[in-house]
Structure 1
Amino acid sequence: MPRAYRLPGLAEIPTAMRGKLPPVGRVIGLDAEAEFLYVTTPTKDTTAQKAQKGKRAKSVPTDSTAKYDVLALDLGSARVDTVASGIEQATLGPDGTLYTVDAKRRVVSVARRFRVAWPQPLPGVPLQLFGAADQRLVVAEPPNLVTAAADQPATSRALPAGSDVAATRWGDLVAVAADSGVVLMDPLGRRDAAFIRLPDHPRALVFSPSGHRIYVARRTEPGLAAIDRYEREEIDGVALPLPATAIRLDPLGRWLLAKPSAGDSVWVVDLPVKRLVGSVPCVWRVDLPAIAPEGVLLVRQGDDVVAYRPDSLVETGRVKGGGADLWTLTAWRPRGAYRGAFADADGSGAPSGGPVASDTAGPEGPMYVQVSTSQNEAWSSEMAQQLTRAGLAARVLDPKNPDDGYRVVLGPYPTRAQAEAIGRKLGRPFWIYQPTPTPALIALVPATGDLKWAAGAAWDVARAAALNGRRVALVDLWLEHPMLHETVGLAPTEGIVDAFEYDVSLTKAAHEIDHVFFIAAGAVTAHAGDLFANPRWKKLHGGFKVEDALLILFLSAGALARLSAVPDGLIVLSPDGYEPESSIGQGIAAAMERGVPLLGVVRERWTPGPDTRSVAPPPGRISASAARRPARRRTRPVVIAATLVAGAAGGWGLLVRGAEHAPTPARPAPAHTPRARPVAAAPAPHADSLSWTVQLAAYAELDKALALADRLNAQGVTPFVTPVAIGGGGRGDATVWYRVFAGAYPTRDSALSARVGLWARQLADRGQGDVLRAPYSLALSRQGGGGVRTDRLRARGIAAVAWDSARLLVGAFETPEQATVLENQLKRAGVSATLVTRMTTTP
C-alpha cells in the first residue's frame, strides 16, 4: 500500500493515497502532470507452464537475468495497469515520459497517458538510460552512445571507456569519467567531443540542474572538482575532508550531497557558498539520501527514515520502520478532496486536521509560462485564442507600463518547477514570467568611501520614489557614523535607536521633509547587532506592504546580512560601480543568495541641470549651524538600472524621470530659511545613442542563437547575441539563456519600423519580436597587437560584430548589470572590454 507524507515533518496523510500494489522492486518515478506512479515488480516465471504445454519440448532454455514488469498506479483513480513486461531497464524523462527496454531491446514509452511501442529496437542492451527532451532516449551501450526516438532511427557514437556516465536533465550533454579526465559528448553530434584533463582520476559525476556545471568526485584527492561546460575547463571546486565516492544534487541546485570514502554518512554542502554544513549518519541506496523539492533532506538511519533541515541539520521528522520502504520525493499534489491535506502553496483548502504548519514552504508564484509579448493587443488576443483552441489555457496579461507589452501566457502556476515543466512541453521558445510585486522594503547599500555622496544619493532616491504620492520612509541605519540627517538638513534628533531601545514612538521619530518621512539614527548604541536582528523589522516590512507604503533603509552590507527581514530589493550606491571580489561585493552577493534581488546601481555619470524648484523643510527642524551653511550645487546620481520597475502607480519610473513631474508648490518658508538643494533631474539622452533594438528570440542553446545571428548578418542586419542568467533565486546556479537582438536604432518608433521590415523580408514571423531599450554593449579593441578577432571569439561561443574601424561590439544590455555573464566569459578568454552606450559614450 503506497503512503504519502507531508514535509518537513513527515506527517502521514492516510487518505491521500489509494490503490494497492504487489511487492515492488524499485520506484521508477512519478509523472506529476499525468498523476502516474511508475514502479517495477518481478516478472512471473511462465517458462515451466510453457514446457508442460509443449509435448515435444525436451528442454526449455531459461534466462537467468532478472526481469520486471512495469506497473502504473493512477493516483487519481487508484487503478493499476501493466505498462510493459520482461523489462530490463526503465527510466523517467524530464517531461514525465516513461521509457522501458526489454530483453529484446524493444522500447515502450508512455507520455501524457499515451503508450507507444517503438518500431525499431535499440542496437544493444543498455547499461544506462537517460530520458531527454523531445521524447528522445539517450542510451549508454559501451562502447557506443546511442540516441533514439520513436519516429527516428537510432544513431551511435563511440563512447569512451569510463567508470561513470552522467547526463544533463534534458539529455543535451553527456559526461564520461575517463581515466585522466572528463569527456563531454553531444548525443546529437552537433559539437565535437571535448576532453577536460584533471590532475586526479574522476570517480563519479553529476550535472547541476541547469547543466552549466559538472561536479566530479576524484579517487584520491579530497573534495570535488567543478567543470564549466561552456568554457570546457575546470573552475572552482568544493573542499571536503576526504575523497567522495558518490554525489547527488537537489532539484534546484542549492544543496549537494556527497558520500565519504570512509564511513556510512552523508556530507551536506551549501553549494552557492561552497560551505560544508556537516554530516549525518545514513545508509546510501538508490532512493536515499536525497533532497526534496521543498528543500528537506531525507536519510535512512537503521530502520527509520529521518528528515533534516539541510542548513542546520536539525531533525524535523521521523518515520519509524520506514527504512525498509522505497521512497520517491516529488512536488506532486493530490487533486480534488486530497489537495487540502498537503496545504498547497496557493492556500486553497486547509487541512481538515488543523492549521497549516508554520514551517511549510511558502509560495513561489504566481509563475506564468510566457509564450509571446507584443504591443499589438489584437494579435496577442488572437494567439491566446489559438492556444486555447489547441487545449491550452492561455490568456493575455495587460501591460503594466507604457514600455510593457501584451503578454500571452499560460498559468498561473504555484512554483517555477511546475511552470517550467509545462513550458518544456510546448515545443517552442518560452519564458517564465513572474509579475513583480510592488516593493515594500528596499535596502540602499553604499559601495564607496565617499559616504557624503552616498547619503545624498540615498536622499535623492527616497524623494524620487515619493513623487508619485506613495508614502515613503527613509531610515538611517549607518549607526557607526550617521550623517544622513545632515544631508536632509536636520539637527541630531531622536531616531531608530531610540525607537527600538527606548520605546520612543516611530511617529515621533519620523520627520516629514519633502514628502519623505525621515527617521534619523538617533542615540549612540552599543548593541547595533541586536537592533539589526530585532524581529520588529519583519513586522514593519509586513505593515508597509499592507499599507502599500515603501520603507527604505540606508545601511552597510554587513548590517544587511544581520537584518532580520529580507528586503524586496537592493540598490547599490557607488559612482563607479563595485567589484564583486571586494568585501562589499561579497556582502552584496551574500544578500542576493538570501533571495534579495539586485534592482540596480546608482552611479554618478551625469550632472543634471539646475532645478528652479525650492522646497524648504518645515520650521523648527533645522539647526542653527545648518541654517548658516550655504547650499552647494552637487552632482546627483541617476538610477540606470532598468529593472527598477514601477508598482501600480509607476513610482520607480520617476527615479529616472523626476524632472518631468509637475512642480510641487513651495511651502511657506520661515525667516532665515536656508536655500534648499535642487532636486536631481534626469540627463538628456545622448544624441548619438542607438538605444533601441528588436529581440527576436531567446534560446537555451547557444548554437541556435548563433544560427539566427548568422542569418541576420547575411541579410545586412546587425545581430547581438546576449547571454543572460535567468532564475536561481539566489541559489547560485541560474540558467543561461541567449537572447538574439536585431539592429540598433535611435528611437522606439524607428525600431518598430525596422521590425515591420524584418517581417516583410521574412526574417521573422509577423508578430514576432519585442521592441525594447538595451543601450549598452561591451566594446573590444580591434587595433594593434592587443586587438581581438571575431573568429577566435566565435570559437569560444562569443558573437562579436564589427562596429567601426577601431572597435568590435558584443551583446546588447538593458542594464549594466546584465553584462556580467558576458564580461566573465571575456575575462576568462583574456579579453578586456569596456561597457559603452552605443555609439561612443561610456556609461
Structure 2
Amino acid sequence: MRTLLVTAFVLLACGVAGGCADRSSRPSGADATPSIPGGPDPIVLRVSRDGGVMTATRYPDLDSTLWRSSARLPALDRIIAFGAEDGYLAAVDTSGAPVRIDIRLGTVTTSRTDDVAVASSADGGAIYALTTDGEITRYTPSGGDWRFTPKLPAHALYAQADGSLIVAGAKGDRAVVWRVRPPGQDVTDSLSFDIGGNEATLRKSLGATAGAVGDRVFFGGNEEVIAVRTRDLAKALEVDIGDPITAIAATPSGDRLFVAIENEALLRVVDRFEEGVKGKITLPGVPRALRMDPLGRVLLARGADDSVYVISLGSDAVIGVVRSEWRGDLPLVLPDGAIATTRGEDVVFAHPSTLADMRTVEGGARQFWYTLRWNGFRPRAAGLDQPVQFRTSAPRDSVDYADSAAARDVVRDVGRDTLRRDTATTASAFTVSFAAVLEEKQARQLASRIRVDGETPRITTSDRAGKTLYRVVLGPYPTRADAERVGKSSGQSYWIFEGAP
C-alpha cells in the first residue's frame, strides 16, 4: 500500500517580470560573466552559524560592509519573511524561537515565552507561531498581543498581507483550511476536502511545513495537487498526478508547479492555467527536496548524499550536478544566477550555465547566508521621512464617521489589522495608530471624531503595493504607558507601535 505523503507548500506570487524564467539575466555564452537583473540593490546578509553580528554587503562586492546589526543574533535555522517597506526580517533560530531583525535600526528581538512548532510571517514584522500546546499566537514589534486556541488542532500557518491568518489542520481523512482575522477570535472562512489517508499521517505532514502565502496555497495530497485561493478559500485547482507526491515547488509567479514523485527520478510539470500535467523533467536521481530561485531562472533539487541537481526553467532540462550540503540557507541562487554551494568550510560559487567554479569565499560555510533585493541601505533625503500633513477638520460634505457602515468596514478590514506599525525611527518613542485606510476622506472623517488632551490625530501617508495608505495617528509619546493612556482615552480601537510615524 502506498504511503500517503501530504505536504502544504506556499507559493508567493511576486509578479517577477519574465514569468517562469528571466532569460535576460543569463549569460550569452558558456564563459560569459553572469549579469544581475535591474531593480533594487542586490544584498547579501551573513551571520555566523553560531550567532553573532549580522552584516550586509552589496553583491557581488562581499568585502565592503554596508551595515552591521547593533545587537547579536542567535544561531539561525531559516528566514521566513522580509518586509521591504519596514525593513523587518523574520527568522527562526535553531531552538525554534521566532526572531525579528529590524534592519533599519539594527535591533534584534527573540521571543522565548513559548515552545514554537511552526512560524509564519507575511511582512517580517508580525510573526505568527503555533506553540507546542496547540495555541496560535502573534508576536509584533511591540510584543505578543494576540492568542487564539482553535477548536480543531492546527498544523500549519500561512500569514497574509492583509493581516489575516490562514490555518491548516486535519480531521479524519480530510484536510481543513480556515481563516481568522486578529484580533478577532472567529473563523471567517473555511474549506475542507478529502485527500485520503488517516489523521495521524495528515498531522505529521501538515505540521512539517510553514511559510508565507501569496494568492494561493497548493496542497500535495496523495496523488493530487490542490490549489486553494487565499482570497475566499475556494478550491481553484485540482490535478490528478497519478502517483504519491513528496514535494512541490513553483515559479515565483505560481504559473507552473514542479512536482516530485515518490521513488521516481523525475519531476512532473503542472501548468496552473491549463490545469494539468504538461511535461516531465528527467533527473539523475530521486529528488528529496526542491528549492526555487527567487527570480525563477533555475530550480535546485536535493539528490542522494550531497548531490544537487540544477534544472534550467527556460528549457526544463537538467544543467548538471553540483556538490553541496543541503541546509536551511545553502545551496543558494545568488542575484546573478550563480549558485552558492558548500565545500568543506568554504562557500564556492558555481557558474549559472557551466556550473564551473567562479569564486571561493574562505570560511563562508561557517556563516548563514540570505539574499534580498532592497534599496533601504541607500542614503535617504531628509524630506522623505517628513509626514504629509492634512487639515484635520472634517469637510462640509463629510458624513458622521460613526454612522458610516462603509467606513466602519474599511477601518475594521483594511485598517487596524492590515498595517500594524510604521518604520521605527527611534527606540524611545511610541505612536498610537487608529487606522490605515485607502481613502483620504475616510481618514479625515475618523480623525475629526477623535480628540485627546485637546489634540486631534494627524494623517500620514505611505505606499504599499502601489497603493497609498492614509494613517490616522497620535504621538509619538515618550513611554508606552503614555501612548496606552491616549489610546484608551480616545474611545476608539487603536494600535501602538514603537517609533515615530
TM-score bracket, shorter-length normalisation: 0.5 to 0.7
1:37 equivalent to 2:80? Answer: no
Matched residue, 2:157? 129
Deviation at 1:193, TM superposition (A): 6.5
Deviation at 1:34, TM superposition (A): 1.9
Please give the alpha-carbon distance, in whole angstroms, between the structure 2 residues aligned to 1:207 and 1:125. 28
What secondary structure sits across from 1:242 in the alignment? coil
Deviation at 1:107, TM superposition (A): 1.5
2:75 maps to a residue whose letter is V
2:131 maps to a residue whose letter is D
Deviation at 1:156, TM superposition (A): 4.4
Matched residue, 2:136? 106
1:146 maps to a residue whose letter is W
CA contact (8 A) 1:182 1:198 kept: yes
1:254 equivalent to 2:297? Answer: yes
Judged with a 3 Å threshold, the aligned counterparts in structure 2 of structure 1 residues 392 and 309 are, in CA distance, closer, same or farther, namely farther
Correspondence 1:724-743 to 2 at 5 A: none
1:244 equivalent to 2:296? Answer: no
Deviation at 1:123, TM superposition (A): 4.0
Please give the alpha-carbon distance, in whole angstroms, between the structure 2 residues aligned to 1:425 and 1:200. 43
Gaps of 5+ in 2: 1-51, 382-438, 445-457, 471-501
Judged with a 3 Å threshold, the aligned counterparts in structure 2 of structure 1 residues 15 and 210 are, in CA distance, closer, same or farther, namely closer
Matched residue, 1:322? 364
Judged with a 3 Å threshold, the aligned counterparts in structure 2 of structure 1 residues 329 and 124 are, in CA distance, closer, same or farther, namely farther
1:642-686 per-position Cα deviation (integer Å, ceiling 9, x unaligned): xxxxxxxxxxxxxxxxxxxxxxxxxxxxxxxxxxxxxxxxxxxxx
1:436-491 per-position Cα deviation (integer Å, ceiling 9, x unaligned): xxxxxxxxxxxxxxxxxxxxxxxxxxxxxxxxxxxxxxxxxxxxxxxxxxxxxxxx
1:71 equivalent to 2:102? Answer: no
2:71 maps to a residue whose letter is K
Higher mean C-alpha deviation, range 17-26 or range 224-233: 17-26
Deviation at 1:67, TM superposition (A): 5.6
What secondary structure sits across from 1:330 in the alignment? strand
Judged with a 3 Å threshold, the aligned counterparts in structure 2 of structure 1 residues 225 and 35 are, in CA distance, closer, same or farther, namely same
1:158 equivalent to 2:201? Answer: no
Please give the alpha-carbon distance, in whole angstroms, between the structure 2 residues aligned to 1:334 and 1:192. 38
Please give the alpha-carbon distance, in whole angstroms, between the structure 1 residues aligned to 2:349 and 2:160. 31
What secondary structure sits across from 2:465 in the alignment? helix
1:161-206 per-position Cα deviation (integer Å, ceiling 9, x unaligned): 5686689964432222222232333456553475322233221012
Please give the alpha-carbon distance, in whole angstroms, between the structure 1 residues aligned to 2:159 and 2:334. 20
Please give the alpha-carbon distance, in whole angstroms, between the structure 1 residues aligned to 2:332 and 2:104. 26
Matched residue, 1:287? 329
What secondary structure sits across from 1:200 in the alignment? coil
Matched residue, 1:332? 374
Matched residue, 1:632? none
2:138 maps to a residue whose letter is V
Q: Which of the numbers 1, 9, 12 marks the counterpart of 2:63?
A: 12
Please give the alpha-carbon distance, in whole angstroms, between the structure 1 residues aligned to 2:154 and 2:278. 32
Deviation at 1:330, TM superposition (A): 1.5
CA contact (8 A) 1:291 1:297 kept: yes
Matched residue, 1:210? 253
Please give the alpha-carbon distance, in whole angstroms, between the structure 2 residues aligned to 1:20 and 1:101. 26
What secondary structure sits across from 1:127 in the alignment? strand
Judged with a 3 Å threshold, the aligned counterparts in structure 2 of structure 1 residues 14 and 335 are, in CA distance, closer, same or farther, namely closer
Matched residue, 1:176? 219
Judged with a 3 Å threshold, the aligned counterparts in structure 2 of structure 1 residues 41 and 277 are, in CA distance, closer, same or farther, namely closer
1:755-777 per-position Cα deviation (integer Å, ceiling 9, x unaligned): xxxxxxxxxxxxxxxxxxxxxxx
Deviation at 1:253, TM superposition (A): 1.6
Q: Which of the numbers 294, 301, 310 marks the counterpart of 2:343?
A: 301
Please give the alpha-carbon distance, in whole angstroms, between the structure 1 residues aligned to 2:149 and 2:309. 41
2:247 maps to a residue whose letter is A
Q: Which of the numbers 299, 313, 322 marks the counterpart of 1:271?
A: 313
What secondary structure sits across from 1:72 in the alignment? strand
CA contact (8 A) 2:128 2:136 kept: no
Matched residue, 1:146? 178
Deviation at 1:270, TM superposition (A): 1.7
Aligned residues: 331
Judged with a 3 Å threshold, the aligned counterparts in structure 2 of structure 1 residues 33 and 180 are, in CA distance, closer, same or farther, namely same
* Structure of greater relative contact order (alpha carbons < 8 Å, 6+ residues apart): 2
1:222 equivalent to 2:265? Answer: yes
1:38 maps to a residue whose letter is A
Correspondence 1:612-627 to 2 at 5 A: none
Matched residue, 2:77? 26
Deviation at 1:282, TM superposition (A): 0.5
1:618-641 per-position Cα deviation (integer Å, ceiling 9, x unaligned): xxxxxxxxxxxxxxxxxxxxxxxx
Q: TM-score, normalised by structure 2?
A: 0.56
Which structure is larger by alpha-carbon Rg, 1 or 2? Answer: 1
1:528-580 per-position Cα deviation (integer Å, ceiling 9, x unaligned): xxxxxxxxxxxxxxxxxxxxxxxxxxxxxxxxxxxxxxxxxxxxxxxxxxxxx
Correspondence 1:559-570 to 2 at 5 A: none
1:19 maps to a residue whose letter is S
CA contact (8 A) 2:66 2:377 kept: no
What secondary structure sits across from 1:323 in the alignment? helix
Judged with a 3 Å threshold, the aligned counterparts in structure 2 of structure 1 residues 321 and 108 are, in CA distance, closer, same or farther, namely same
Q: Which of the numbers 223, 227, 231 marks the counterpart of 2:274?
A: 231
Deviation at 1:256, TM superposition (A): 1.0
Deviation at 1:258, TM superposition (A): 1.1
CA contact (8 A) 1:147 1:188 kept: no
Gaps of 5+ in 1: 43-65, 340-382, 394-409, 411-421, 429-843
CA contact (8 A) 1:256 1:271 kept: yes
What secondary structure sits across from 1:327 in the alignment? strand
Correspondence 1:411-422 to 2 at 5 A: 422=464
Aligned identity (percent) is 24
Q: TM-score, normalised by structure 1?
A: 0.35
Structure holding more helix per residue: 1
1:33 maps to a residue whose letter is E
What secondary structure sits across from 1:11 in the alignment? coil
Please give the alpha-carbon distance, in whole angstroms, between the structure 2 residues aligned to 1:175 and 1:387. 37
Judged with a 3 Å threshold, the aligned counterparts in structure 2 of structure 1 residues 16 and 35 are, in CA distance, closer, same or farther, namely same
What secondary structure sits across from 2:67 in the alignment? coil
Please give the alpha-carbon distance, in whole angstroms, between the structure 1 residues aligned to 2:58 and 2:266. 30
Please give the alpha-carbon distance, in whole angstroms, between the structure 2 residues aligned to 1:263 and 1:206. 21
